[in-house]
Structure 1
Amino acid sequence: MKTKDVIYMIYNENEQSTTSMGIEFIDFIHCLTVEPNNILLLASRYTGEDFHYGLRLEFVRKENLKDLYEENVYSYGDFCWVDFDEMITLDDLTPQEKAELLYLGHYQQPFGSPFFEKLNNKFVYLAHDDGWFNKIFYKDKNQYIDVLGRLISNKLKSYRKNVPPLGQDIGELLTLFAKDGILIDLY
């Protein structure tokens, strides 16, 4: 059995987060029904085209996201990001919000809420050795259920063809099991 054959996750409903092993960045991205508008990199070694001097952080515009998706983010060690809607909002962040974002990237845990009203972020993706330790915060539980259903379906396609996404009812059941921790052996 290879580690790619196993997903372990714990769903924390109070935090709106999932801590997992076996889910990689590219798996997560391919399971989203709507691609992020932009990504603010809180911790990574990615050097793209855009750097925000007020935050001293790299970010990736929507038109450049495919370059990020092709990166081997596992090699970065820490890989942490939040999505955001509009570029101008990065300039509007208060010193407190900047501090909370930097804390989030450094300690891989939120100081307050992981969701920033100005950024309108739907996700917070915190990883160390991508695929070995990931913590993802979801603003909407239904997005988590949808991603989970697509993720398992996509991973099963390496063993069987024509695997449809799991239904909402199966996703909700898996979420219930994941509250205590769930190990899914795909093999």
Structure 2
Amino acid sequence: MRRLRDVFYINAFPETNEIIYYGMELKEFLNYAPIEINHLLLLEAEYFGRGFSSRKKFEIVDKEEMDDFLKEHVYSYGNFCWVDFNQKENVEELEPMEIAELLYLGHMFKPLKSPFFERIDNRYAYLAHDDGWYCKLYCRYLDDFKEIIANKVIGMVSTSKRRKIYAFSEELKQVLFSLAVDGLLIDFSNTLRSSNSIEIPIYTIGKFIDMDEMYNGLRRHIGRSRYSAKLVHKNKKWSIDYEIHR
């Protein structure tokens, strides 16, 4: 059985502001993003809500509808693609070529020109298949995703209100993102907890685009990893305990 929350795999392409990842669902992404995302322009989704733009043929999810939308079973949609936007009026003013580029982005999972559109000032282009299984994210500011990685880890280990989990340093966020360029795997399934520490194995297992290939051969990929370490929370801070460099 596939367990979407047992590992978090990140394959980063900083040169194109692109991140491909496995193991984080839409609700988590919206919760862990460093800014509040209140407006979604749906490019590919089996969702019909209150925010349909009749002129532009796009479904819109605004702030007042977001809670109801997040109750949806997004996994059942299959492909699920969106960009955020600033104001609904700007969506209504999209030119035909901009609409064509947005539709191409949602259908082909890649931009015709750029994943970022000046008119709607989107920060993200979120292109997912089977919620939590595969997501290609274009991120205007890569620091956003560095923050998302840290927040995801903290969210996964924060199981008790009695135990405070401290924030990541900026330096450690950068180290983790640098590792993601070589395909970073954070293995929550083998997290070790003691009274004074939390240890999470991390590896670089290579750059996978096919998440079935990545996940189904996970033990083999870990065995062949060129980098192995532990992400450690201890003494009110996070650090990396380096184990093996091959």
Length-normalised TM-score, structure 1: 0.94
- Is residue 11–residue 181 contact of structure 2 (8 Å, CA) maintained in 1? yes
Specify the alignment match of 2:234 in structure 1: none
Partners of 2:44 and 2:68 lie apart in 1 by 17
Partners of 1:159 and 1:13 lie apart in 2 by 35
167, 174, 177: which one aligns with 2:179: 177
Partners of 1:38 and 1:2 lie apart in 2 by 29
Q: CA deviation at 1:34?
A: 2.1
Deviations 1:125-157 (A, max 9, x none): 110001110011111111111111111111122
Specify the alignment match of 1:110 in structure 2: 111
Partners of 1:46 and 1:186 lie apart in 2 by 32
Specify the alignment match of 2:166 in structure 1: 164
Q: CA deviation at 1:177?
A: 0.4
Specify the alignment match of 1:38 in structure 2: 39
- Say what the alpha-carbon RMSD is for the aligned residues: 1.7
Partners of 1:34 and 1:178 lie apart in 2 by 22
Point out where structure 1 has 5 or more consecutive residues left out of the alignment. none
Point out where structure 2 has 5 or more consecutive residues left out of the alignment. 190-246
Specify the alignment match of 1:13 in structure 2: 14
Specify the alignment match of 2:130 in structure 1: 129
Aligned length: 187
SS in structure 2 at match of 1:40: strand
SS in structure 2 at match of 1:4: coil
Specify the alignment match of 2:55 in structure 1: 54
Q: Greater relative contact order: 1 or 2 (C-alpha under 8 angstroms, separation 6 or more)?
A: 1
Based on CA coordinates, which of the two structures has the bigger radius of gyration? 2
Length-normalised TM-score, structure 2: 0.72
SS in structure 2 at match of 1:14: helix
- Is residue 33–residue 145 contact of structure 2 (8 Å, CA) maintained in 1? no
Specify the alignment match of 2:219 in structure 1: none
- Is residue 8–residue 181 contact of structure 1 (8 Å, CA) maintained in 2? yes
Letter paired with 2:105: L
